[in-house]
Amino acid sequence: MTTQQNQLNALENRVTWRRRFSIFSVAAMAVGLLVVGSLVLTVGSVHIAFRQVWAILVSHLPLVNLEVNWSSTTDMIVTGIRLPRIILAGMAGAALGVAGATYQGLFRNPLADPYLIGVAQGAALGAVTGFLLPWTFLGGYLIPVLAFLGALVSVSAVYLIARVGKAIPVTTLILAGVAIGSFLISLTSYITIISADKMPGILSWLMGKFSMANWEQVGLIAPFLVVGLAVIFIFARPLNVMQLDEEQAEQLGINVERTKLILMAASTLITAAAVCFVGTIGFVGIIIPHAVRLIWGPDHRTLLPLAALSGAILLILADTASRTLFPPTEIPVGVITAFLGAPFFLFLLRRKKKAVF
Amino acid sequence: MATSLESPSTRIEGDFLFLFGNDLARMDLMRRFYFLGSIILALLIAASGCKSPVPQGNITDDLGRTVQIKGIPQRIVSLSPSNTEIVYALGLEDRLIGVTTYCNYPPEAQKKLQVSGYSTVDVEKVVSLQPDLILADSIHKTEVIPALEKLGIPVIGIVAPSLDQLLADIELVGKISGKQNAASVLVASLKQRITAVKEKTAGASKPRVFFVTWHDPLWTVGRGSMIDDLIVRAGGSNMASDLKANQTIDLETAIQRNPEVIVVLSSMGDQAVSYNFLKNEPRFQATDALKNNRVYQVDSDIFGRTTPRTIDALEELAKLIHPELYK
Amino acid sequence: MIKLEMQGISLSYNHAPVVDKVSFQVVPGEMLGLIGPNGCGKTSIIKALSRVLPLRSGKIQLDGQDINRLSRSQMAKLIGVVPQNPLMPETFTVAEVVLLGRTPHLGLLRHESAGDLKIVEWAMERTGMSTLASRKIGELSGGERQRVTVARVLAQEPVAILLDEPTANLDINHQTAILDLIRDLCKERNLAVLIALHDLNLAAQYCDKLVILKGGRLFTEGTPRQVITAENILAVYGMNSLVYPHPENTLPVVLASNKADNRSNNSRISEK
């Protein structure tokens, strides 16, 4: 064989091997997610034996007839409290991981996170306002609805300010996001200060919690998540191409402005859905994309699904820690992720010699 | 601190002898004795009612601080709704010159000058009023109290995590402000009511009570809190007595402990958010409390403060926990 | 014959006119050089051709079709652009970047086929990057990065290639290497090549035809021998020069005149 042929084979082999490794990684991590999820189901401030947890789960499957030797309360704890909570944590983690990876790719900036263009600040202001408003027609959904709307309004404001003609220059977007974000934070702080006896509730929301997770919330968030993630995954290749500068991406056939808009909208949607019930949880959106990129490289076709899965695993573990460290009290999840985030950033800084982005 | 009247009285006696010397010389010994004695007695009575500034010395407040009070305070500022209620209960409202925006009981308190929000105190305004006594709370410990101390204003921190402490606090404020009698009377009647509740509920079984202060996440009160004390005295058992005074409890544990009675604190602004949640949350439906329809809401203006009205709270709580005893 | 034609194009940049009614064409197998002083409109024309800058008037046609009617993908399959300072992600490997050149052929979801990989491999081999295929961009030198971009453009399989000052910032050996490569590709694959250059001598050596711009207008066009003359240089650059034939191929070589009184006013730095 000629050297040409050799090298072509080498390239083909590398690509094939790469692809197989990616598929294997995604499958393995999906399995890992299931394993972690089920293990974590058996843990909680109320002690329930491992085997019993499994028995309870299995007994809910159709066509299964198991002898019931546990109380209905125990069943409810496993299937009505822990299970939806774990799923919600997983969904939020997936959303934040993917949104973070998307923003880092869109802005070509390793410090970008899902909250860069005002999502968190808008959601926080909406939620905090919901705490204080005396409206009762939405009942317990007032806060999540206002949080969701707050996030969307905030990002829209940032987008409209940053837009120049039909284009959204990236630097302007970031600056507008920072400016509006700061303004919203100041409003939120003021409202928090005057919130009197609502302050513990507000602070809990701001630091993130999964304590009241239920199946209804799961059902409400799931469609946003599925649609948003699907859209983002479809645009993985354009996101790759956009790692060149925007001019080159246009010249390669990518409609850059439209891609930016679609990816921003989808990311905002999944982030808003993730935080409106559980509050603003930090660090997941930054840590996960970096960690995945370190191991699997920058190709978004692998990066995005892996970010979703590992984000889910991370947040499930963090939530488990939050409810098992000092039972029966809960540490806000945001505190746990911050605890993990700080050393991770130090680790990243020390690796600066080798380019990580 | 006991005051001595010895030196002045011998002086007075000397003057009277000088003034009435002739008359006294003509009286016999017994009548002389009675005459002088009644004059001395009259002087003593007059002197005891005298309000001349008498230095009080050092007081130890609930925050463990030693405060020097000089004389009877005439310009009092209250930095918490609880303290305002105590001030009114002791009849000191005429001396009250500053309150917080949340001091709404009694209603007249709302007409007083407001110098503080929920936790932020307008120190300038307070100082401009030239108070000689400030009644503060535990939240003021780290910043507000040191600031006021530096300006030389006496600040007393009042924190009552139990009924006994509350009664002691009422007596303390009474003593500092020269209203010991009013304080004693009030404390005696409160004690009577407390004992009445204790006797009524003695012997009854103690249901598990879950006191909820917020629902998302669930906040409850544990040992070392006033409400824990109330629950016990009202003949109940605090489901969260193993927790700290103010702590979150996760849903699993709350449900698994199967409360028999759930009492929910209303939120400010008269919303029933937490109450509605506890009443309607499907996962609580299997608890005894929901099955027997024993979920109640109580007013945070009463249950969230430590004032004479806390005994009202005790009585209300006893009725909620043991309705069968109050038919 | 797929011609790239510029017909009377005028361009503005930030509302200031930079190009005024310029017309010329590039034919396949021909390397056309755009030369002129800084600010004469070279880069603007390249940007207009890659549809970054909109036309104020005039038409650009490729194979008789107005390029503004083409979709982005269609454009990308026809015209490849090697920009002046292309940004490349430091952590991508050479192969990954070159593979990006196949984007217009792949659409949103299709995976790279063996055929695509063949083309990528050929592009890398042709630009001498095969042995560096799995190196990260961050580890390459300036000349190597330049060649990666050329390989990426080749992977697009275009019929025309535009290059914006590809030799800026390169050492002299790399300058000639890249131009050799471009010229070979131009002839081999019958590409229409338009290249903006600031170096008159390189332009003379490599381009079949030259277009000289001055102040946004077409000054003259023709072969290097016709166009690179001391008179033209004086008219366009305001500088006196000496033009000699290259000893090896008689193509014009430009030398700046060193005699003090031969310098014009324009090129003297003001004493004030």
Query: What pLDDT is attached to residue A123?
Result: 92
Of B142, B159, B189, the residue at which a domain comes to its end is B189
Q: What angle do the packed helices A170-193 and A142-162 form, to 10 degrees?
A: 140
How close, in Å, is residue C247 to chain A by CA atoms? 38
**Structural domain containing residue B150:** 57-189
Cβ distance of B249 and A329 shorter than 8 Å: yes
- Of all residues in chain A, the one with the smallest CA distance to C118 is A8
- Residues of chain A in contact with residue B117, where contact means CB-CB under 8 angstroms, are 194
Query: What pLDDT is attached to residue A87?
Result: 96
Cβ distance of A329 and B283 shorter than 8 Å: no
Q: What's the total number of domains in chain B? A: 3
Please, what is the average pLDDT of chain C? Answer: 88
Residue B89: is its pLDDT beyond 60?
Answer: yes
Any idea what the Cα angle at residue A275 is, between residues A93 and B254, rounded to 5°?
A: 85
- Does B274 lie in the same domain as B179? no
Closest CA to A199 of B269, B161, B119, B245: B119
Q: How confident is the model at residue B4 (pLDDT cuts 50, 70, 90)?
A: very low
Instruction: Please report the domains of chain A, with CATH numbers, ordered by start residue.
Output: 21-353 (1.10.3470.10)
Q: How confident is the model at residue B13 (pLDDT cuts 50, 70, 90)?
A: very low
Query: What pLDDT is attached to residue B23?
Result: 56
* Cα–chain center distance at B108: 18
Query: What pLDDT is attached to residue B2?
Result: 40
Query: What pLDDT is attached to residue C202?
Result: 94
- Does B69 lie in the same domain as B185? yes
Cβ distance of B269 and A134 shorter than 8 Å: yes
Any idea what the Cα angle at residue B77 is, between residues B73 and B78, rounded to 5°?
A: 120
Distance CA C272, CA C267 (A): 14
- Does B208 lie in the same domain as B137? no
Q: pLDDT tens across A228-240, in order?
A: 999 999 999 999 9
Residue A1: is its pLDDT beyond 70?
Answer: no
Chosen from A197, A319, A324 to mutate, greatest number of chain B CBs within 10 A: A197
C65: phi then psi, degrees, rounded to nearest 5: -100, 135
Inter-residue contact A45 to B253 (CB < 8 Å): yes
Residue B131: is its pLDDT beyond 50?
Answer: yes
Distance CA A160, CA B232 (A): 59
Q: What is the CATH number of the domain that holds B148?
A: 3.40.50.1980
- Does B69 lie in the same domain as B28? no
- Whether A138 has its CB under 8 Å from any CB of chain B: the answer is no
- Do A and C share at least 3 CB pairs under 8 Å? yes
The predicted model gives A85-90 an average pLDDT of: 95
Query: What pLDDT is attached to residue A263?
Result: 94
Structure tokens at B316: 């209300």
Does some domain include residue B140? yes
Q: Which of C76, C111, C124 sits opposite A252 (nearest CB)?
A: C76
- Does B92 lie in the same domain as B73? yes
- Of all residues in chain A, the one with the smallest CA distance to B244 is A329
- Does B219 lie in the same domain as B305? yes
The predicted model gives B280-293 an average pLDDT of: 92
Assembly ipTM: 0.86
Interface of C with A in 209-268 (CB under 8 A): none
Q: How confident is the model at residue A311 (pLDDT cuts 50, 70, 90)?
A: very high
Chosen from A276, A330, A333, A335 to mutate, greatest number of chain B CBs within 10 A: A330
Query: What pLDDT is attached to residue A135?
Result: 79
How close, in Å, is residue A211 to chain B by CA atoms? 6
Cβ burial of A235 (10 Å; 0-12, 13-18, 19+) is buried
DSSP state of A78: I
Residue B16: is its pLDDT beyond 50?
Answer: no
- Does B182 lie in the same domain as B63? yes
Chosen from A2, A231, A248 to mutate, greatest number of chain C CBs within 10 A: A248
Does some domain include residue B307? yes
Cβ distance of C87 and A244 shorter than 8 Å: yes
Three-state SS across chain B?
CCCCCHHHHHHHHHHHHHHHHHHHHHCCHHHHHHHHHHHHHHHHHHHHCCCCCCCCEEEECCCCCEEEECCCCCCEEECCHHHHHHHHHCCCHHHEEEEECCCCCCHHHHHCCEEECCCCECHHHHHHCCCCEEEECHHHCCCHHHHHHHCCCCEEECCCCCHHHHHHHHHHHHHHCCCHHHHHHHHHHHHHHHHHHHHHHCCCCCCEEEEEEEECCEEEECCCCHHHHHHHHCCCEECCCCCCCEEEECHHHHHHCCCCEEEEECECCCECHHHHHHHHCHHHCCCHHHHCCCEEEECHHHHCCCCCHHHHHHHHHHHHHCHHHHC
Q: Where in chain A does DSSP place strands (E)?
A: none
Interface of A with B in 40-69 (CB under 8 A): 44-46
- Residues of chain A in contact with residue C104, where contact means CB-CB under 8 angstroms, are 252-253
How close, in Å, is residue A324 to chain C by CA atoms? 40
Chosen from A1, A2, A3, A11 to mutate, greatest number of chain C CBs within 10 A: A11
- Do A and B share at least 3 CB pairs under 8 Å? yes
Neighbours of chain A (3+ CB pairs under 8 A): B, C
Residue B45: is its pLDDT beyond 80?
Answer: no
Interface A:B, Cβ pairs < 8 A: 88
Beta bridge partners of C66: C61
- Does B216 lie in the same domain as B158? no
Inter-residue contact B258 to B294 (CB < 8 Å): no
- Output the CA–CA distances (angstroms, integers) from residue A246 to A107, A280, C68, C84, in the order listed: 11, 31, 19, 14
Residue B220's identity, in one-letter code, is T
Does some domain include residue B198? no
Q: pLDDT tens across A106-124, in order?
A: 988 888 888 888 888 999 9
How close, in Å, is residue C202 to chain A by CA atoms? 26
Query: What pLDDT is attached to residue A194?
Result: 81
- Of all residues in chain A, the one with the smallest CA distance to B247 is A329
Closest CA to B135 of B183, B103, B108, B105: B103
- Does B179 lie in the same domain as B66? yes
- Residues of chain A in contact with residue B219, where contact means CB-CB under 8 angstroms, are 200
- Does B319 lie in the same domain as B216? yes
Q: Which of A4, A240, A355 sits opposite C138 (nearest CB)?
A: A355
- Does B245 lie in the same domain as B163? no
Cβ distance of B119 and A193 shorter than 8 Å: yes
Q: pLDDT per position in chain C (272 positions), as tens?
A: 678 888 888 888 888 888 888 999 999 999 999 999 988 888 889 988 888 888 888 889 888 888 888 899 999 999 999 998 888 998 899 999 999 999 999 978 888 888 899 999 999 999 989 889 889 999 998 888 999 999 999 999 999 999 999 988 888 888 998 999 999 999 999 999 999 999 999 999 999 999 999 988 999 999 999 999 999 999 999 888 999 999 999 999 999 887 765 555 554 444 44
Does some domain include residue B69? yes
- Does B290 lie in the same domain as B245? yes
Structure tokens at B69: 């009070």
Chosen from C117, C119, C140 to mutate, greatest number of chain A CBs within 10 A: C117
The predicted model gives A49-73 an average pLDDT of: 83
Does some domain include residue B159? yes
Does some domain include residue B194? no
- Residues of chain A in contact with residue B273, where contact means CB-CB under 8 angstroms, are 140
- Residues of chain A in contact with residue C154, where contact means CB-CB under 8 angstroms, are none
Does some domain include residue B153? yes
How close, in Å, is residue B68 to chain A by CA atoms? 32
- Residues of chain B in contact with residue A134, where contact means CB-CB under 8 angstroms, are 269, 271
How close, in Å, is residue C199 to chain A by CA atoms? 25
Report the percent of chain A where pLDDT is more than 70: 97
C68: phi then psi, degrees, rounded to nearest 5: -70, -10
Q: How confident is the model at residue B52 (pLDDT cuts 50, 70, 90)?
A: very low
Please, what is the average pLDDT of chain A? Answer: 88
Does some domain include residue B196? no
Q: How confident is the model at residue A164 (pLDDT cuts 50, 70, 90)?
A: confident
Q: How confident is the model at residue A243 (pLDDT cuts 50, 70, 90)?
A: very high
Query: What pLDDT is attached to residue C57?
Result: 87
How close, in Å, is residue B266 to chain A by CA atoms? 10
